[in-house]
Amino acid sequence: MTRRVVITGGSSGIGLATARRFVDDGDDVVICGRSENKLEAAKAQLGQVECHRVDVSDQQAVEALFDAVGPVDVLVANAGICRQARLDDANSDEVWRDSFRINVDGVYYSVKAAAESMPDGGSIITVSSGLGKNARAGYEAYTASKHAVLGLTKCVALELADRNIRANAVCPGWVDTPMSRGDVAESARRAGVSEQQFRKESVDAIPLGRMVQPEDVADLIYFLSSDDARAITGQSYNISCGEFFN
């Protein structure tokens, strides 16, 4: 059966790989993102996909997206940002607000709008992070926002269970995407080491000796959306090449 699937932040990284996974399965895929150029590039790669330029932190725009798209069987609430700021950094308040606007409000608006018309038996997958369970100095905003995504996902799972709509979260470790590359560059700058060195030390600390690839996460998301995961709801799954979170 062809499913209607919406993936927020589907023009890059994990979202793009996830869109490819569902397109390959023959599903009817809609992606949204903030950048028209990235959406066009994604469409050129994916072919059969509907693209919408939407900022998920804008509730009206999110509601308009789901009104236009109609009932969706699967929502992947993936769009997010990762910005570091220590408490005494000049921009820490701005980073805090931006992180919550996009990573928390954006997921809430997407889930709320999708749930309204989602058919019974649908599936919601949110993208949290290993930092949705753990902590790292200088990542207060990101970490708190990803913890919030897990709380939201568990409540949504309970609320929608009587419609047999399942809601689960994925918690990736380091995934090789534009986001993590930017974060490695920032961490290296803060640590006063080269990007190459910081990346090597990070990868050396991963038991399987490599970063997670976006396709690895896409496969997990796809599984959680599928009937094979019919007894799974309200859960969060680490995908980290062996790093332990809680």
Nearest-angstrom CA–CA distance, 198 and 84: 16
Provide the token pair at 89.
């950094």
Provide the token pair at 180.
């993590």
Q: Is 102 in the site for ligand NAD (CB under 6 A)?
A: yes
Chosen residue from 106, 122, 184, 233 binding ligand NAD by CB under 6 A? 106
Chosen residue from 174, 198, 222, 237 binding ligand NAD by CB under 6 A? 174
Q: Is 55 in the site for ligand NAD (CB under 6 A)?
A: yes
Taking CA atoms, 70 is separated from 4, 14, 90, 185, in Å, by 9, 24, 43, 40
What is the full DSSP assignment across 161-224? GGGT-EEEEEEESSB-SHHHHHHHHHHHHHHTS-HHHHHHHHHHTSTTSSPBPHHHHHHHHHHH
Nearest by Cα to 75 from 39, 109, 42, 103: 109
Nearest-angstrom CA–CA distance, 68 and 63: 9
To ligand NAD, the closest distance from the beta carbon of 181 in angstroms equals 9
Chosen residue from 3, 4, 6, 15 binding ligand NAD by CB under 6 A? 15
Q: Are 55 and 61 in contact (CB under 8 A)?
A: yes
Q: Is 78 in the site for ligand NAD (CB under 6 A)?
A: yes
Q: Is 180 in the site for ligand NAD (CB under 6 A)?
A: yes
* 142 catalytic residue (yes or no): yes
Question: Quick one: 121 or 207, whose CB is closer to ligand NAD?
Answer: 207
Q: Which amino acid is at 20?
A: R
Chosen residue from 46, 104, 113, 127 binding ligand NAD by CB under 6 A? 127
Alpha helices in 47-139 (DSSP H): 59-69, 92-99, 106-117
Chosen residue from 30, 69, 81, 115 binding ligand NAD by CB under 6 A? 81
**Which stretch in 108-116, 152-160, 172-180, 224-232 sits in contact with ligand NAD by CB under 6 A?**
172-180
Q: Is 198 in the site for ligand NAD (CB under 6 A)?
A: no
To ligand NAD, the closest distance from the beta carbon of 244 in angstroms equals 15
Residues numbered 137 to 166 that lie near ligand NAD (CB under 6 A) are none
Question: Quick one: 129 or 187, whose CB is closer to ligand NAD?
Answer: 129
- Residues with Cβ within 8 Å of 62's Cβ and at least 6 positions away in sequence, in order, are 54, 56, 106, 109, 110, 113
Residues known to be catalytic? 142
Residues that bind ligand NAD (CB under 6 A): 8-9, 11-15, 32-35, 38, 54-57, 78-82, 102, 106, 127, 129, 172, 174-175, 177-180
